[in-house]
Structure 1
Amino acid sequence: MSRELDQIVDMQVLSGESGMGKILIIEDSPEIALVYDHFCRKMNWDFDIASNGKEGMKKFLSASKPYSVYIVDLVMPEQDGASFIRDLKKQDPNAIIIVQSSLDEPDKIIEVMKLGVFDYLRKPVTKEDFDRTVTLAFQCSSLRDFQADVERSNRDVLKEQLDWLTYKESIRKSDENSLSLSTIKSLNTSFSQGSGIGAILSLLDLLKMGHQTTENGALVSNEILSLLYASQDVLRKQLGSLSTVLSLAGEQAKMEKISISDLVHTLTKQSETFVPFLDKKDLKIRFSSSKSKESLRVQLDWVGIVFDELILNAMKYSKKSTFIDVYFGKIDGYFCLAVKNVVNSAQELVDAENKEVLVTRPFFRLLPPVEEFSELEKFGMGLGLTAVDMIVNKHRGIFNIHNVSDHTSPIVEPCIMAEAFFPVISV
């Protein structure tokens, strides 16, 4: 099993759900094939069975949709398992293969595993081992499909964003008054919603209506005072975050070179901060891996802020009992950090008239504030994605957030995809 998948399992961010992919089982023994038939039916998994490598390759080539998982015996007539795996990898280098064999020859097993095999099962295979290994393979397949979808869509998105940024700059220069007015309106809305100024004003109104005057002063409700003090702390934190954003705006990034693999490891480790809070909405986080050997020049703590804000934003507005998918990849000279989350309904993220991403405008609130993750928030008043946009721009990168549909799950659901692109160092 890969180190990345081990890491995900250790963090307990993957569920036991298998997805709706299809298995191809290649097994020459009718008796063992019947056992695997029984295992799959018990788990309601869709599957095909082939008796040797040649028959398995025919099924692979004629399938209307690629198989998600392959279970391959090593010793078979006509074409053995190792030969089938080599042929399959030429057609589909990312194929997820589970080898199962009674061979007790470590050298041969190691040689086969080097072909890019996901896992190895020793015969006789128990139902528990079979279910566990295939479930993990399905989860890996789902992440692979997600990664492929991101790579396909992001090439077009990146080109569109380069054109969009040029146009957006011209809009800002020609219509600054309009944008300023929009920001002021958003600021008014942000102050009026949730904890902070709006809450304090409401509590002061309650105090004014409910206090009782005595000879020694006024009597007020302890409950209202407690809420007032709590709101004061939130407001102080929000004003502090506003100062942080203003400070970011005036600073230049202190760039340092870091390999993409080290950055991915750092960010994945950083995500452990969120694990204790995922249960509030029964969420799980899944990560793709990155094999890129190239490097970036970034201010690492700023990229950490970008990562935290994208995960937090996904947590706040995710549909309950769903996955948050995190993708790391390289596309057209950029390192891409993408975070996808399922939402209850599609959201209007873009102001088409002004060619603006609404949620990156200072103080803009698309949806009501979410209080359940307030202790994780570094920025209040709708400034989280504003900070992200600012940091990415300071790295001469591109930030994009848009609606997508997830076709990798049994039910096509509306999702939000947030993507930060950072330039890769030219070799």
Structure 2
Amino acid sequence: MGRELDQVVDMQVLSGESRMGKILILEDSPEIATVYDNFCRKMNWDFDIASNGKEGMKKILSASKPYALYIVDLVMPELDGPSFIRELKKKDPNAIIVVQSSLYEPDKIIEVMKLGVFDYLVKPVTREAFDRTVTLAFQYNNLREFQAGAEKSNRDVLKEQLDWLTYKESIRKSDETSLSLSTIKSLNTSFSQGSGIGSILSLLDLLKMGHQTTENGALVNNEILNLLYASQDVLRKQLGSLSTILALAGEQAKMETISIGDLVNTLTKRSEAFVPFLDKKDLKIRFSSCKSKGSLKAQLDWVGIVFDELILNAMKYSKKSTFIDVYFGKIDGYFCIAIKNVVTSAQNLVDEENKEVLVTRPFFRLLPPVEEFSELERFGMGLGLTAVDMIVNKHRGIFNIHNVSDHTSAVVEPCVMSEVFFPVASV
């Protein structure tokens, strides 16, 4: 397991089919514009070309939907590249921009990259460089679309559902397929199964059936009473987890700069807390080597929570006597933590129609609750991956979880790969 994450994630991300949007190319030279026109037609990419920043801005304002990618020349008449980028970022902070210029000056490149661009192409641009950069940008756009869906879920779905839970508003929808109704069903499952409310209700039923009345009151079975007390503690913890995630939803990340090396060391050391619990399923954690350099701005304790929840999720649903593999590394301006675990069978983790990750929905239950590791849970009732998604989004990152197949052993086994991407700090 000595492969670098750069290679592993490339295989996972680049092997998938990308959904192509429309490109806007800003190039004042008719000759070079013709070259780019030819490049795009050969790759069957949908595109528009503008000769300067003002014309480009007009196309943006008249377009029926935002462009997926902007390729911007730095030196143009009327509205130059940097000015265009600043105007564009005001309208669309998440715009994916590739800069192309004949200026190959490190200071200039750094200055432009600080404007929030995806890549920098130096003229003359070869077809190979153009195709590779555009392809990566489209794949990056796919991840951003995925992130946008998760952010929408946090803004709308999570607020609506938690407000319902705390009786701040009423959710009354009869549609059997509605997200609100499925969430209520998931919440009902969380409350009805395992420890907590479900357990307390069962114990109260036992008390009702078995109690004996005496002159001094009712006799209560000590064993049932002790179980009732234990379930009370679990229930208090579950309700506490709701308060915790509500508080998290209202906080902003307190960023500090940390080097990738220090973060990897911190998280690796953090994993030691799980070792005593791995024996319950004969699991082992193993790490890939990480030689990536750089730093990122993050709230360290929140990144720790993300790491803990992903490891805990892997522990819960791993096949017995297998490995949980952890990869660290950089890819396309992001620091990635990827965790892979072998499962007994693949599950539908994503709603393919809506492109939404099901397991990040609050209270969603894909499988019955796992009680073996309940004492490690910071967020109960299916809220662990919801918290991960929320924290990653607060860092303007990306969270993805999907099914993969492990071909590294003699038998191909189904696995789950969870990946979080945190933006790397600009140099």
Tell me the TM-score normalized by structure 2: 0.64
1:230-309 → structure 2 map (5 Å cutoff): 230-309=230-309
Match of 1:164 in 2: 146
**How far apart are 1:257 and its partner, in Å?**
0.2
1:224-235 → structure 2 map (5 Å cutoff): 224-235=224-235
1:337-376 → structure 2 map (5 Å cutoff): 337-376=337-376
**How far apart are 1:172 and its partner, in Å?**
8.9
Match of 2:341, SS state, is strand
The one-letter amino acid paired with 1:413 is E
Q: How many residues align?
A: 286
Q: Return closer, same or farther for 1:295/1:169 CA change in 2, 3 Å cut-off.
A: closer
- Contact 1:171 1:354 (C-alpha < 8 Å) held by counterparts: no
The one-letter amino acid paired with 2:7 is A
Match of 1:404 in 2: 404
- Contact 1:402 1:418 (C-alpha < 8 Å) held by counterparts: yes
Residues 64-114 of structure 1: per-residue CA shift (max 9 Å, x gap): xxxxxxxxxxxxxxxxxxxxxxxxxxxxxxxxxxxxxxxxxxxxxxxxxxx
1:20-419 → structure 2 map (5 Å cutoff): 142-144=1-3, 148-155=7-14, 159-166=141-148, 178-419=178-419
Distance 1:174 1:233 in 2: 31
The one-letter amino acid paired with 1:161 is L
- Contact 2:329 2:336 (C-alpha < 8 Å) held by counterparts: yes
Distance 1:147 1:410 in 2: 25
Distance 2:377 2:156 in 1: 34
The one-letter amino acid paired with 1:352 is E
The one-letter amino acid paired with 1:153 is Q
**How far apart are 1:417 and its partner, in Å?**
0.4
Q: Return closer, same or farther for 1:170/1:272 CA change in 2, 3 Å cut-off.
A: closer
Match of 1:278, SS state, is helix
CA RMSD of aligned residues (A): 2.1
**How far apart are 1:143 and its partner, in Å?**
3.3
Distance 2:218 2:314 in 1: 45
- Contact 1:284 1:322 (C-alpha < 8 Å) held by counterparts: yes
- Contact 2:150 2:389 (C-alpha < 8 Å) held by counterparts: no
Distance 1:326 1:167 in 2: 26
**How far apart are 1:168 and its partner, in Å?**
6.1
Match of 1:6 in 2: none
Distance 2:348 2:180 in 1: 21
Distance 1:250 1:170 in 2: 15
- Contact 1:350 1:357 (C-alpha < 8 Å) held by counterparts: yes
The one-letter amino acid paired with 2:285 is I
- Contact 2:151 2:393 (C-alpha < 8 Å) held by counterparts: no
Residues 107-162 of structure 1: per-residue CA shift (max 9 Å, x gap): xxxxxxxxxxxxxxxxxxxxxxxxxxxxxxxxxxx332887333321355755322
**How far apart are 1:426 and its partner, in Å?**
1.4
Distance 2:381 2:321 in 1: 27
- Contact 2:4 2:288 (C-alpha < 8 Å) held by counterparts: no
Match of 1:46 in 2: none
The one-letter amino acid paired with 1:164 is F
The one-letter amino acid paired with 2:147 is L
Structure 2: gaps (5+ residues): 17-138, 161-172
- Contact 1:143 1:286 (C-alpha < 8 Å) held by counterparts: no
Distance 1:191 1:398 in 2: 30
- Contact 1:154 1:331 (C-alpha < 8 Å) held by counterparts: no
Residues 19-75 of structure 1: per-residue CA shift (max 9 Å, x gap): xxxxxxxxxxxxxxxxxxxxxxxxxxxxxxxxxxxxxxxxxxxxxxxxxxxxxxxxx
**How far apart are 1:293 and its partner, in Å?**
1.7
Distance 1:269 1:173 in 2: 34
Distance 2:156 2:372 in 1: 40
Distance 2:355 2:248 in 1: 24
- Contact 1:147 1:327 (C-alpha < 8 Å) held by counterparts: no
Q: Return closer, same or farther for 1:321/1:391 CA change in 2, 3 Å cut-off.
A: same
- Contact 2:342 2:416 (C-alpha < 8 Å) held by counterparts: yes
Distance 2:383 2:327 in 1: 24
Match of 2:254, SS state, is coil
- Contact 2:4 2:289 (C-alpha < 8 Å) held by counterparts: no
Tell me the TM-score normalized by structure 1: 0.64
Structure 1: gaps (5+ residues): 1-141
Match of 1:90 in 2: none
- Contact 1:399 1:418 (C-alpha < 8 Å) held by counterparts: yes
Q: Percent identical across equivalent pairs? A: 80
Distance 1:168 1:373 in 2: 27
The one-letter amino acid paired with 2:144 is L
- Contact 2:6 2:331 (C-alpha < 8 Å) held by counterparts: no
The one-letter amino acid paired with 1:346 is A
- Contact 2:259 2:294 (C-alpha < 8 Å) held by counterparts: yes
Distance 2:422 2:352 in 1: 25
